Structure 1
Amino acid sequence: MRIQKLLTFLFALLLVTSMTSCDKDKDKEPTNKDILTSSIWKGESIWAYGSDISDLFMDELGYDIKKNTVKFDKAGTYVDSYERSSLNGTWEFADNDKSIIFDKGTDDEYTATVLMLTDKELRMEQTIEPEENDEEPLTLEVRFIR
């Protein structure tokens, strides 16, 4: 009789354990949207032509990328902050999450290519067209970290 109770208890324990370990939510990989919107991104560096040009931006324009933060919301809005000012807008993934369209349908619309998106790092690239026709376009890579 004692062995039967023990076997019944072990079977019940095995059943409960196997049911709780099959939770599909824990096995689900986060989407790019989940990763992008999970917390605030802090500016790390600006790159062009394979070199970190963050100091050049600071010297020439007085812009310190490390003072820049961006918060993406799952509802498709973002807040881009620099020191005490901020810019609000909309965003959406495009091209199978390889690009982000900012402020779609407005005069300020632009697209950034997502070079890297992990839980710790975001790298985006944008080509800036020159104001004068005789100049070459400039491609900048902006790197953010958490």
Structure 2
Amino acid sequence: MNKLKLLTFLFASLLMLTLVSCSKDDDADLSKMDLLTGGEWTGHQFWTSGMNVTDQLVEFGYKVAKSKANFSKDGSYTMKYDGDLVQSGNWEFGSGEQTIILDEGTEDETIFTINKLTSSELYMDGEVSIDSEGYMSLEGEIRLKR
């Protein structure tokens, strides 16, 4: 009976290890384009000066989790807040796929530096508008999740 329990435990451990390692392998097989355009991103946290200020932004009426971003393979993007369209236009990679450039060559051009990009997480440094009129912005790292 002890051998059966040990065999069951080893099989379960091997299965868990296989399942955990598959997600990392899947990301390695995907291009940055596929990772970025694989679905809608939802705001998770905002960091500035090495501090997580997500909760403090609520005092200004901005809830990071209400922010949504969607990048399409055709080069278009949309940014929404609380379901309302805030910004849309064209995007492209820059600096060897290390940056995302929104609306290049226009007065609305914005560049985000990609700090992390996986199938479930996108961390970008840049300037983010935290009000609907675009008057108040904050420089830092926006962390998004799927």
TM-score of the superposed pair, with normalisation by structure 1: 0.71
- Summarize the alignment of residues 21-32 of structure 1 with structure 2, pairs less than 5 Å apart: 29-32=29-32
- 2:42 & 2:144 partners in 1: Cα distance? 5
**What corresponds to 1:42 in structure 2?**
42
| 1:111-143 Cα distance to aligned partner (Å, 9 max, x none) | 110000001100000158xxxxxxxxx640000
Structure 2: distance between partners of 1:36 and 1:85: 21
Which structure 2 segments of 5+ residues have no match? 1-25, 129-137
CA–CA separation in structure 2 for the residues paired with 1:89 and 1:46: 23
Return the alpha-carbon distance in structure 2 between the equivalents of residues 37 and 118 of structure 1.
Answer: 11
Please state whether the residue corresponding to 1:96 is helix, strand or coil.
Answer: coil
Partner Cα distance (1:144, 1:84) in 2: 16
Q: Deviations over 1:69-107 (max 9, x none)?
A: 111000111111111321211110011111011111111
Aligned CA RMSD, in angstroms, stands at 1.8
Deviation, 1:30, is 1.3
Q: Give the counterpart letter for 2:74 in structure 1.
A: A
Which amino acid in structure 1 is aligned with residue 50 of structure 2? G
Paired position in structure 2 for 1:126: 126
Q: Deviations over 1:2-57 (max 9, x none)?
A: xxxxxxxxxxxxxxxxxxxxxxxx9x921100110010001001001111101111
Q: What letter is aligned with 2:44?
A: E
Tell me, yes or no, if structure 1 residue 64 matches structure 2 residue 63: yes
Q: 1:3 corresponds to which residue?
A: none
Q: Give runs of ≥4 in structure 1 deviating > 6 Å.
A: none
Give the Cα separation in 1 of the matches to 2:68 and 2:32: 19
Match of 1:94? Answer: 94
Within 2, Cα distance between the matches of 1:50 and 1:106?
Answer: 31
5+ residue gaps, structure 1, are 1-25, 129-137
Alignment coverage as a number of residue pairs: 110
